Amino acid sequence: MSDTFNSIQGYLMTDLLKKSIMMVLIVPLWTFISGCGSGGGGGGADSSGTTSKISGTVIDGPVIGARVALVNSNGKSLIAIKTGTDATYSISVPDGTTYPLRVSVTGGTDKVTEEAPAAMDSLIQDASQTTANVTPMTTLIYQAVIAKAGNLDQMTSTMLADAKKNVITQFGFGIDAESSTIDPIATPVDSGNVSSMVRSSEALAETARRAVGSDQTTVAQVLTLMGEDLADGYIDGKKNGADLANTLPSGFTATTIASAVAQQKVAVGLEVLANDMTVTKSDGTELSAATTRTLLSEGVNRIVPTLSSSAALSKMDQMPLSRNQWTQMMTDLGNVIKIQSTLGESTSTLSALESEARNLQPGQPSTGKLNTTLTSNAISGVDTITSNLKTSQFATTLISSAAAAVGPPGSFTISGAILDGPVIGAIITIKDSTDTTILGTTTSGADARYVMTLPSGASFPLHVSSSGGTNQISGETAASMDSYVIDANQTTANLSPITSVMYHAARSAAGRLVSVTATIAALIKTGIIDEFGFGIDAQDSTFDPITSPIRSGNVASVVRASPALAETIRRAAGPETTTVSQSFAMLGEDMADGTLNGTNNGATILSTAPTGFNITSLITAIMQHKAIVAVEVANNSLKTTYRDGTQISASDVLTALSKAVNTLVPSVTTSNATTTMAALLVSTRQNLQITEDITEALKEQSTRGVSTTNLTALQTAAASLQSAQTGAGVVSTSVIDAAAVTATSLTNSIRNGT
């Protein structure tokens, strides 16, 4: 009996041991299988030893067959599963997992485009969270939180709440149209919110595709950058004023992306309002609005089968406008108007649309409520700007300034171009109204532009000055120049010879910088353009030398006119940079009373005259050469003077001016610039300046007993220059040169005291 029992016991123990070994092998295998199984309608089986389960829906359009991985704060993937045919997943969180977690989605098929979507992310804050949807919107939220926290384990509930609020407010596209309390991450997708979830998710992805590029790698990069950019609450190409750290798509800057996204937010937002959105595929082809409507409604039905495609389509047509959606559209329109205005583009269509959009009523359907022609024209306009941004048709610093215009309040950004010919490498300094406190310094870039963000609280007006840098016409050091900023609404402050005279005139007229007002500045501007404009308004009659952005529609006339005043001084007083800068100040003080007569309201001018001149003699010399230079500019045959007194020929100057135009506005090629300058029409102001300059110069020559033969011949030839007609080549250069010889002779006599 005992032996038999022992034998049976041994057998049983051996058998149990074998089974135990098998279970040890089987359990890990089953655990692995449960982690990689299919989702959809309940997802994979529960893992052994788990304490919670997470489920959600993956939408960029419904995404099926995507890999959903839970990743901890150390970047370790803990477990993964795939979305089912309804774009949902359900996954068990391993026991002992430390929160928060990243939900990372890659691959799969977007059932709107039938292509793989961009990689997307979401967040699980703690073990109490049971839903984690993954969409372009949740990706922005995740990236904004990471950019602010530095790492996932440093995230706080406040950071997450702020990111959600910012994303819904700025990129919601009506996600809350059906449910005002929706949480993009944590609210389960059901029949009561699926239509707005699908539509808004596609809208955000479409914004990224149109703004920068439609392939999935680019879209993922853009969503990452946008999230980082949004960490401070604003999409302006900066994070708290600093450069973004994440990788940029090839050929783009962060401010270019911010500006392009702003454009396309308006275009896509308008299409969403009309339920007329189109979708771009990875190869750049576009699904029509009708096709997109069908696919979106089918996507809704795929996720929530109880809601038919036809019912989903009807819901989207009648979707009420949410308060956040209306606010987003009004803010987006305002931002694009600021950006396009800074870029120097017309904003009339957008402004008209903005006025019309104010009448939209939150809580009511928006479909069909906006004028279709106005909407179409606005979308076409932002598409053109986006294309120009992508192809670098705007100067880099101009784009930076445009993006900064929609950045955080409390600071303000000033930008502009430095011109006596484009000046590269000039030191730009901005001082407050006391003209002693320096608010900031920067350097003009390779496009001769600068952009500077200044702190809040500065006292206006501001003094903007430049020193040094290389004049791209002569290749020599530029003279120091000045400009001003009247108030925080002014975003552009160009610096040139004419702005220098305007600055000194305004300051002299007011008595001190702090007393300069917009009224004083406006009066000064009018008088100085009349006296020293040299056709700066030939392309744009409303051009303001200080406040108007330099763009394709004015760059040729601005570049041609800018060296003219400095050249006049170089010929009259001498080409040294100190002499030229002194003369700017003296001319400005003289023009403070609106006339060029050697006095300021009858009082003696206090500015120091260059060596060898007194104020009166210098004004006389300037008036002689101003007449010659004015004709050269209109005739498109300007010559400029090197510091050693030799001159650059008219043909070489024209070549240099054409290159200068391209430097400032890359979209205008040098050959087109040459053609444009040859075709410039003589402005009315320019024609009057030439007539008056020659008349004044003749009076002085006659008074001094100098032969007026050459200048009279120039007067006769210049009479052929007519307002609103092309001036290039109208006057014989030999006639101009002969008159210049007389002017130089008279200037030398003045210097010698004879």
The span from the CA of 449 to the CA of 5, in Å, is 99
Per-residue pLDDT, 29: 33
Between the CA of residue 540 and those of 492, 570, 649, 681, 727, what are the distances in Å?
A: 17, 27, 28, 11, 16
Question: Residue 213 — φ and ψ, nearest 5°?
Answer: 180, 150
Nearest CA to 451 out of 237, 202, 199 is that of 237
Within 10 A of 448 (CB to CB), how many other CB atoms are there? 29
Helix (H) or strand (E) holding 702: helix 684-703
Per-residue pLDDT, 51: 56
User: 3-class SS at 467?
Assistant: strand
The span from the CA of 140 to the CA of 318, in Å, is 28
DSSP letter string, 289-305? HHHHHHHHHHHHHHH-T
Total H helices, total E strands in the chain: 22, 22
Q: Which residues contact 169 (CB under 8 A, 6 or more apart)?
A: 324, 327, 328
- Tell me if 312 sits within 8 A of 297, measured CB to CB: yes
Q: Which residues contact 599 (CB under 8 A, 6 or more apart)?
A: 590, 593, 605
- Tell me if 473 sits within 8 A of 657, measured CB to CB: yes
- Tell me if 485 sits within 8 A of 521, measured CB to CB: no
Q: Is 217 left (phi over 0), alpha (psi -120 to 50) or beta?
A: alpha
Helix (H) or strand (E) holding 205: helix 194-211
- Per the listing, tokens 């032996």 go with 3
- Per the listing, tokens 């002014």 go with 490
Q: Which residues contact 11 (CB under 8 A, 6 or more apart)?
A: none
Within 10 A of 425 (CB to CB), how many other CB atoms are there? 15
Instruction: Give the dihedral sign, CA 316/321/327/330.
Output: positive
The span from the CA of 618 to the CA of 447, in Å, is 34
Half-sphere exposure of 102 (CA within 13 A, CB side): 25
In single-letter form, the type of residue at position 610 comes to P
Per-residue pLDDT, 296: 97
The span from the CA of 95 to the CA of 79, in Å, is 11
Helix (H) or strand (E) holding 314: helix 309-317
Per-residue pLDDT, 8: 34
- Tell me if 184 sits within 8 A of 175, measured CB to CB: yes
Q: What share of the chain is helix, strand, coil (3-state, %, to 5)?
A: 50, 15, 35
- Tell me if 324 sits within 8 A of 166, measured CB to CB: no
- Per the listing, tokens 């014989």 go with 732
The span from the CA of 91 to the CA of 43, in Å, is 6
Per-residue pLDDT, 39: 43
- Tell me if 144 sits within 8 A of 117, measured CB to CB: no
Token pair, residue 183, equals 């949480």
R_g (Cα) of the chain, nearest Å: 35
Chain mean position to CA 753: 55
Half-sphere exposure of 690 (CA within 13 A, CB side): 29
Per-residue pLDDT, 340: 93
- Tell me if 676 sits within 8 A of 556, measured CB to CB: yes
Helix (H) or strand (E) holding 218: helix 216-229
The runs of H, that is alpha helices, within 343-422 are 348-357, 372-390, 396-404
Per-residue pLDDT, 754: 63
Helix (H) or strand (E) holding 326: helix 323-342
Nearest CA to 226 out of 200, 241, 244 is that of 244
Report pLDDT digits (tens) over 323-361: 999 999 999 999 999 999 888 898 999 999 999 999 999
- Per the listing, tokens 């800057």 go with 253
Buried b (16+ CB within 10 A) or exposed e, 213-240: bbbbebbbbbbbbbbbbbbbbbbbbbbe
- Tell me if 334 sits within 8 A of 326, measured CB to CB: no
- Tell me if 303 sits within 8 A of 59, measured CB to CB: yes
- Tell me if 156 sits within 8 A of 149, measured CB to CB: yes
- Tell me if 379 sits within 8 A of 285, measured CB to CB: no
- Tell me if 502 sits within 8 A of 588, measured CB to CB: yes
The span from the CA of 277 to the CA of 270, in Å, is 8
In single-letter form, the type of residue at position 333 comes to L
- Per the listing, tokens 């230079």 go with 629
The span from the CA of 385 to the CA of 394, in Å, is 9
**Which residue numbers in the chain have pLDDT < 70?**
1-51, 409-411, 754
Nearest CA to 79 out of 64, 95, 63 is that of 95
Per-residue pLDDT, 411: 65
Nearest CA to 580 out of 468, 650, 471, 481 is that of 481
Per-residue pLDDT, 34: 35
Token pair, residue 673, equals 């610039």
E-assigned strands of 249-346? 279-280, 286-287
Nearest CA to 381 out of 342, 333, 347 is that of 347
User: 3-class SS at 580?
Assistant: helix
Nearest CA to 415 out of 471, 493, 359, 357 is that of 493
Token pair, residue 98, equals 């430390």
Per-residue pLDDT, 510: 94
Query: Omega before 409 cis (within 30°)?
Result: no
- Tell me if 60 sits within 8 A of 201, measured CB to CB: yes
